[in-house]
């Protein structure tokens, strides 16, 4: 039987993980790939919004399908922004904690 090697992560380690993730998310957002994906999302959101405006309002299945496409794109951008903000907060917490020890 293998020993349980699961280690408990300290608050400081979690802050470091969150800060690093935020930096990576921000770097991704600013990268060529990130900008390309954001541009595609923007174009898709405009297209799907127009489809909702133009569609038959009684076509419930099509409406749900389009709204799901919009939701996925909005969630993607939300998750990236959340990772960035969480990383910034973690970084501030690490600095505050470091200043308390000196």
Distance of CA 10 to the CA centre of its chain: 24
pTM: 0.79
The whole-angstrom separation of Cα 26 and Cα 88 is 10
The whole-angstrom separation of Cα 19 and Cα 86 is 7
Residue 81 counted as domain residue: yes
Residue 3 counted as domain residue: no
Whole-number percent of the chain with pLDDT over 70: 93
Domain that holds residue 27: 11-101
Residue 4 counted as domain residue: no
pLDDT in tens, 35-63: 999 999 999 999 999 999 999 989 999 99
Angle at 84 between CA 78 and CA 85, to 5 degrees: 85
Residue 57 counted as domain residue: yes
């Amino acid at each position: 039987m293998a020993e349980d090697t699961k280690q408990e992560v300290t608050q400081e380690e979690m802050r470091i993980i969150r800060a690093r993730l935020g930096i990576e998310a921000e770097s991704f957002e600013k990268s060529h790939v990130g900008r390309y994906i954001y541009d595609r999302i923007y174009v898709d959101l405009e297209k799907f919004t127009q489809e909702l405006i133009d569609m038959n309002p009684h076509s419930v299945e099509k409406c749900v399908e389009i709204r799901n496409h919009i939701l996925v794109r909005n969630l993607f951008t939300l998750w990236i922004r959340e990772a960035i903000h969480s990383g910034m907060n973690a970084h501030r917490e690490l600095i505050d904690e470091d200043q308390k020890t000196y």
